[in-house]
């Protein structure tokens, strides 16, 4: 899975060093814990929260 991490995260560029580093660390952790729940991959609550906040989420409008 580390090949997947390198292919998808190692060269990311968000225009901010901190965002780049966070994306790379999240991607690296996901590649090591592939198939596990995020709460298992990120055992520290703060890191887990930051990973959830970083990942894009789509807002659903279920009204017709």
Q: Give the pLDDT score at 64.
A: 47
CA end-to-end distance (rounded Å), the chain: 41
**Cα separation, 19 vs 24, whole angstroms:** 9
What are the extents of the domains in the chain? 4-54
Q: Give the pLDDT score at 37.
A: 93
Q: Give the pLDDT score at 61.
A: 55
Kindly give the parts of the chain with pLDDT less than 50.
64
Q: Give the pLDDT score at 16.
A: 86
Q: What is the pTM of this model?
A: 0.70
Q: Give the pLDDT score at 13.
A: 83
């Amino acid at each position: 899975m580390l090949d997947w991490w390198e292919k998808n995260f190692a060269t990311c560029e968000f225009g901010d060093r901190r965002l780049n580093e966070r994306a790379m660390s999240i991607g690296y952790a996901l590649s090591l814990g592939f198939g596990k729940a995020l709460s298992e991959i990120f055992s520290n609550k703060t890191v887990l929260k930051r990973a959830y906040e970083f990942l894009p989420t789509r807002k659903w409008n279920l009204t017709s």
